[in-house]
A and B are shown apart, each in its own frame.
Chain A
Amino acid sequence: MNLKEIQKMLEAELVCGAEWLGREVACACGADLMSDVLAFTKERTLLLTGMTNIQVIRTAEMSDCVGIVFVRGKKPGQDVIELAIENKLPLFVTNFPMYEACGVLYEKGLCGCARAVLRHGG
């Protein structure tokens, strides 16, 4: 599943990073706790979050996330968008709340990080 397909499923607005829409997503993580993102995600994770501060971008950068979806229509500020562009991180905004957004993707077969590990045996 790539970011372009995910954008369509979540009826999401692309905030930045159009050139990276072809990126493949390995798994997804829905979290507002950046501590958990740092501890439990894998490479090429899509992050869904309700937080829009600058530390979300830093956390996604360190964790090698493929992109970030902000749920419930929350749009990040300009400083956050600029740091995302600098780090080649596509950002999306969906009007779905967290549970629905995760549910839609899960139903379409995008697994969570723990399952990604089980499936790839690593």
Chain B
Amino acid sequence: MFCTKKGYAVVRERCCAMEDEQTIVLEFTLKGSDFNAAGETSSKIKKVLQQIGVKSDIIRRIAISSYEAEMNVIIHAYQGKVRATIYPDRTELVVEDEGPGIADIGLAMQEGYSTAPDHVREMGFGAGMGLPNMARCSDKFDIQSAVEEGTKITMTIFHNA
């Protein structure tokens, strides 16, 4: 886990109290199809937010957004990176992957559209709810994708909504 304080990168295992103006940056890597580890990244982000005392309903929205994006990398892509930047007033999540990309983003954003394979559906995923749920849970949502290259999702959730 990497933490950046005012732009100077420090490697630390845990980030604790957040002072004024301080920013916490958490970075993780994801491996496609690694279903056992799926959720570990979002769990760590959630625990840091709890430590610094962000309101529970806000943490819930951040954790769900992060977990949906994390699951998408595990399910649909080959590998990816998650960066959570926690500012005093907001959290920014950037989830970027190398993978097949999305040809029609408008279609992918529709509830119920999914290309997830059967073994993913058997685990309880692949209902085509993830992307619309991320858009609903975050205050700002952006998706960029290039076919056969990858997908990048950027989300912002304000702490005092």
Interface residues of A (CB under 8 A from B): 32-36, 38-39, 43, 49, 51, 53-56, 58-59, 61-64, 87
Contacts and interface: CB of A to CB of B under 8 A. Distances in A.
A64 B56 contact: yes
A62 B36 contact: no
A35 B130 contact: yes
Contacts of A34: 123-125
* B contact residues, range: 20 to 34
Nearest to A31: B124
B57 A55 contact: no
Contacts of A38: 64, 67-68, 129-130, 133
A43 B123 contact: no
10 contacts: A33-B124, A34-B124, A35-B125, A35-B129, A36-B127, A43-B60, A56-B124, A58-B39, A59-B124, A62-B60
B124 A62 contact: no
Interface string B71-83: 0000000000000
